[in-house]
Amino acid sequence: MTQNSLYQKSNIRRLQELAKLAPDTFKAFAEFDKLALADGLIPRKTKELIAVAVAHVTGCAYCIDAHVSAAKRLEASKEEMFEAIMVATALKAGSAMAHGLNALQAFDGDNQDDLYTKTNMARFMDFNELSPEAFSAFNQFDREALKPGLLSRKEKELIAIAVAHVTGCPYCIEVHTKNLKKLGVPREELAEAIFVATALKAGSALAHSVNALNAYDF
């Protein structure tokens, strides 16, 4: 490894060192990760596309490499992968804008003890008054990203709810859970998507431990 290189595919081999440093915890995570990504009500291919999307939000280069490869082995196309990434992009941008509702409340001096209230969502139209062109452009992008394509609306909403749990946006969770319910998606599938997100968020932290090992050793 060169001194300036912080990300190399070969680094990931160092994960096995964690199996020796914290064997019980490592084994428990590996079992959880395997179960979260296994075939269930949501098929493995869809779970891997969810994983690819979430990995783009966690910003884990190792996770992107691993789950793109896994999705490809399951015959996901490059176009399907890109649709999943665009959903993640829309949700990450949407999370930033949704948190802006609290910025409006703070600026106007309306923040009390409750920072995230459903009634705040009515203030989205304030953005239309403050920056109409940007607001319109975002809404157009969001609609395009979530509309059915090679991936169905249901698949895109499952990706969206997983990403929303990683961005930590309560408004996004509210909206996309309701959308899934309208599509007739049972709570069991919702839970499976959330567990994929959980595995990927935890897996990102675990994967970055190889950088910690490198930093410790060099």
Tell me whether residue 45 is exposed, middle or buried, using C-beta atoms within 10 angstroms of its C-beta: 0 to 12, 13 to 18, 19 or more: middle
Angle at 109 between CA 104 and CA 111, to 5 degrees: 75
* Model pLDDT, residue 3: 56
Rounded to whole angstroms, the Cα distance separating 161 from 174 reads 9
Q: Which residues have C-beta within 8 Å of that of residue 165, sequence separation ≥ 6?
A: 173, 194, 197, 198, 201
43 and 193 Cβ atoms separated by less than 8 Å: no
* Model pLDDT, residue 1: 46
Instruction: Give the number of other CB atoms < 10 A from CB of residue 180.
Output: 21
Regions of the chain where pLDDT drops below 50: 1
Domain 22-217 is found in CATH 1.20.1290.10: yes
Helices and strands counted in the chain (H then E): 11, 0
217 and 3 Cβ atoms separated by less than 8 Å: no
- DSSP-based three-state secondary structure for 201: helix
* Model pLDDT, residue 41: 98
- DSSP-based three-state secondary structure for 183: coil
pTM for the full predicted model = 0.92
